[in-house]
Amino acid sequence: MRTVEWDNGGVKMIDQRSLPWTLEFARLETAEAVAESIQNMTVRGAPAIGAAAAFGMALAARNSPADSIEQLIRDLRLSAETLKAARPTAVNLAWAVDKLLAIATSGEFKRVDDLRDVLLTAAQQIADEDVAINSRMGRHGARLIDEGATILHHCNTGSLATVDYGTALGVVRAAFEQGKGIHVLLDETRPRLQGSRLSAWELDQQGISYDIIPDTAAGYYMSKGEIDIVLVGADRVAANGDFANKIGTYQLAIMAAAHAIPFYTVAPTSTIDLSLCSGAEIPIEERAPDEVTTPYGNPIVPPHFKARNPAFDITPHRYLSGIVTENGIARPPFDTNLRRAVAGDQL
């Protein structure tokens, strides 16, 4: 079951807002609807929103009334702006949109229907490649997991965050499939509880041993020696190895360093943005404060109380033991080895 896929002229996706209580699907038929689904987190996770955005571009081409390549490109540019504005931090979204826009503007096409067909094929290829890439990352990362290890994980990086299989939780899945007898501690990941709602749902489905812990409890378990390794995902990795991930990642990295616990991020090369020198250049999305004060429509404080809600933070590369990619594990110096990974070298 894929998180997002093309479905007979529309985009079908798991509605992640309804989990873990019910498994529901949304079907979207316009690029604008896809952009809204990304913004409101019907679909979330950097690779998943990249694939969704690619299908959104295919929808934009399909729905455009253009009868010339020039007009179709103009319509695609407008849809590209809408899609890329939906969530600014995760680079996979812009990467996928720009990839399809580059095909459209290549000058290779004379007939609009031919271009429409090629864009859908390209979007489908992005989705299919995501599954294969995640499987390779899982195998590389599983080498880091010892028999019987306890893994701390933040947010959700499994099948729900990708087209299928997962990034950091894909490593967990691969280690489990190898029979390593692992256990996972899942941070709740407030305010949207991607850990307790989504990661726990996935591990429960797969039969992998886990416990949900409060976000504030990670240091406690580290101090007791109950955590062997920390695995997280990434929404954008700068050229020097600094990376953006779900808010709360930075503090985990600091605590892991204080306790000499290995700390890895797992990210496909499409998440690596070599145009940015450091994490200071990564835009951070600030979401609505009611996600903090009224999570899922349930008020926990009076309505006049103030709140702030950054969706991501930046973890400096000095806290990283390595970055697991589909081409192997990049280790320091990251400015050299990330470029090798993006170029397709095996690390």
Q: Where are the domains of the chain?
A: 4-134, 138-343
Q: Name the DSSP letter for residue 194.
A: I
Whether 3 contacts 48, CB under 8 Å: yes
| Predicted local distance difference test score (pLDDT) of residue 205 | 96
Determine contact, residues 49/83, Cβ cutoff 8 Å.
no
- Planar angle of CA 232, 234, 237, nearest 5 degrees: 130
The C-alpha atoms of residue 85 and residue 101 are separated, in whole angstroms, by: 15
272 contacts 342 by C-beta, under 8 angstroms? yes
Q: Give the full edge-to-edge strand order of the sheet including 328-330.
A: 210-213, 183-187, 150-153, 229-232, 263-266, 322-325, 328-330
Q: How many residues does the chain have?
A: 347
Residue 98 is predicted with a pLDDT of 96
Whether the bond between 214 and the residue before it is cis, its omega within 30 degrees of 0, is no
Give the pLDDT confidence score for residue 90 in this predicted structure. Answer: 87
Task: Record the tokens describing residue 241, joined without a space.
Answer: 């190895």
Q: Is there a contact between 331 and 321 (Cβ–Cβ < 8 Å)?
A: yes
User: Catalytic: which of 235, 242, 273, 313?
Assistant: 235
Q: What's the pTM?
A: 0.94
Domains 4-134 and 138-343 share a fold: no
CA 67 to each of CA 62, 64, 90, 97, 330: distance values in angstroms, whole numbers, following the listed order: 12, 9, 33, 22, 47
CATH class of segment(s) 4-134: mainly alpha
Q: What is the pLDDT of residue 6?
A: 97
The residue ranges of the chain whose pLDDT is under 50 are: none
Compute the radius of gyration of the chain from its Cα atoms: 20
The CATH code that applies to domain 138-343 is 3.40.50.10470
Query: pLDDT of 211-232, one tens digit each?
Result: 999 999 999 999 999 999 999 9
CA 64/CA 58 separation, integer angstroms: 10
Give 47's contacts (C-beta < 8 A, 6+ positions apart).
92, 130, 134, 161, 162, 163, 167, 268, 270, 271
Q: Given the structure tokens 């873990």, which residue do they identify?
A: 20
pLDDT at position 117 is 97
| CB neighbour class for 34 (10 Å; exposed up to 12, middle 13-18, buried from 19) | buried
- Report the pLDDT value the prediction gives residue 232, as an integer from 0 to 100: 98
Q: What is the spatial order of strands in the sheet that 272-273 belongs to?
A: 272-273, 236-238, 243-246, 312-315
Whether 235 sits among the annotated catalytic residues: the reply is yes
